[in-house]
Amino acid sequence: MPDQASGGAFEKAGTAPGDGAAPAVRVEGLWKRFGQQIAVDGIDLVLPAGRFIGLVGPNGAGKTTTLSMITGLLRPDHGRILVAGDDVWADPESVARVKSRIGVLPEGLRLFERLSGRELLAYSGRLRGLPGDEVDKRAAQLLDVLGLTDSQHKLVVDYSTGMRKKIGLAAALLHNPEVLFLDEPFEGVDPVSAQTIRGVLERYTASGATVVFSSHVMELVESLCDWVAVMAAGRIRAQGPLAEVRGDAPSLQAAFLELVGANERAAAGDSLDWLGGTGSAGNGTGSGAGGGAQ
């Protein structure tokens, strides 16, 4: 499986050692429990480098928990995680190497909201030990590309959802990481901002970097990703190149519903036969592909 990552994926100078086929992320027997609930149930995952990877699954599947453990924000109960060859939960030196090589945009955690967008980037770049003028140069370019230049002096607390995601993305990209982890980067984001984010991410992966993002919007994953891992109820149901996971299904949405076993419930529309008043026949939106993921 890791062999899939060959083919010019490592263009970034000086980052990849000689064994060119090392996966970006390798997860072995990862397990996490919150009280009675097992959030992540012993998953194994190999994510190739240089790809645009989608981690998909319904709400509560364990995507956020998994990404939090991979990025060092949540301590796993069991299991081992290697990012670019370094153990995320081992000695401080190894952790330091991992943290300097990844960028993170978590879901549901705050930013330092009482800083302006510009100040947030300045702060986070300096925390990462980048020289001040380099931080300011990169920040200006990122703000420009992400269309935030006009709002750069506004406090983040006054930003809209789309602007927040964009400034979070800028902070995650500032130190030019090898692997970028984004938790629901398009959730609640308007189409214009989404397109901007998408453009930046496509440019970034084209240079050989890896993007791992979680989502439940299948059309988006299908159009962006070349590698997919499907998660449900704390387990990995499938992982591999997009075409392989999709198989014979007409779309990723259909394959996904099949994999997580959601088709039976979707068809259960009969009990609402009174809905819609005059009884004109429903047009069969209950099941199948085009159900509208957003």
Partner 1 sequence: MSAVTSSPAPASAPASAPAPSLTSVFVRLKLSLLRNGLRQSGGRTAAYVVSAVFGVLFAAGMFLAFVLLRGHESAGTAAILLTGVVALAWAVMPLFVPSGDETLDPSRLVMLPLLPAPLVRALLVASLVGVGPVLTLLLAFGAALSVAHGAAAACVAVLAVPLVTVTCVALSRAVAAANIRLLTSRKGRDLALLSGLVIAVGMQVVNFAAQRLSEPGGMDAVEPAAAVVGWLPPAAAIGAVDAAGEGAYAVAAARLLLTAAALAGLVHWWRRSLVRLMVEPDGSTIGAAPDPAARGKDGTGFLGRFLPDGRTGAVMERSLRYMWRDPKTKAAWVTSLAIGLIVPLFNALQGAGSIYWACFASGMLGMLMYNQFGQDTSAFWMVAQTLSTPADAYAELRARAYALLAVTLPFTVLVTALTCAVLGDWGRLPEGLGLAFGLLGAMLGTGAVASALFPYSIPQDSGYKNVVPGQAGLAWISIFGGMLVAALLCAPLIGAVIYFRVADHHSLLWLLFPAGTLYGALLVWAGLRLAAPRTANRLPEILAAVSKG
- Other Cβ atoms less than 10 A from the Cβ of 271: the count is 7
Tell me how far, at minimum, the Cβ of 166 lies from partner 1, in Å.
Answer: 16
Which range binds partner 1 by CB under 8 A, 153-161, 207-215, 217-225, 252-260? 153-161
Quick one: tokens of 129?
């030990």
> In angstroms, rounded to a whole number, what is the distance separating the alpha carbons of residues 103 and 177?
6
> In angstroms, rounded to a whole number, what is the distance separating the alpha carbons of residues 138 and 122?
9
List the one residue from 80, 128, 198, 235 that touches partner 1 (CB under 8 A): 128
Greatest alpha-carbon pair distance for the chain in Å reads 69
Of the pair 46, 120, the CB lying nearest partner 1 is at: 120
List the one residue from 58, 72, 79, 286 that touches partner 1 (CB under 8 A): 72
List the one residue from 66, 151, 193, 210 that touches partner 1 (CB under 8 A): 151
Q: Does 154 bind partner 1 (CB under 8 A)?
A: yes
Q: Does 230 bind partner 1 (CB under 8 A)?
A: no
Q: Does 110 bind partner 1 (CB under 8 A)?
A: yes
Say which DSSP state 103 is in.
E
List the one residue from 64, 65, 71, 210 that touches partner 1 (CB under 8 A): 71
Q: Given the structure tokens 């159900």, which residue do they identify?
A: 291
Alpha-helical regions (H) of the chain: 63-70, 92-101, 117-127, 132-145, 161-173, 191-206, 218-224, 242-246, 252-260, 263-266
Q: Half-sphere exposure of residue 71, counting CA atoms within 13 Å on the CB side?
A: 24
What x-and-dash track marks residues 181-220 binding partner 1 by CB under 8 A? ----------------------------------------
Q: Does 26 bind partner 1 (CB under 8 A)?
A: no
Q: Does 65 bind partner 1 (CB under 8 A)?
A: no
> In angstroms, rounded to a whole number, what is the distance separating the alpha carbons of residues 228 and 260?
14
Which residues of this chain interact with partner 1, rule CB under 8 A?
71-75, 92-93, 95-96, 99, 104, 106, 108-116, 118-124, 126-129, 131-132, 135-136, 139-140, 150-155, 157-158, 160, 171, 274, 277-278
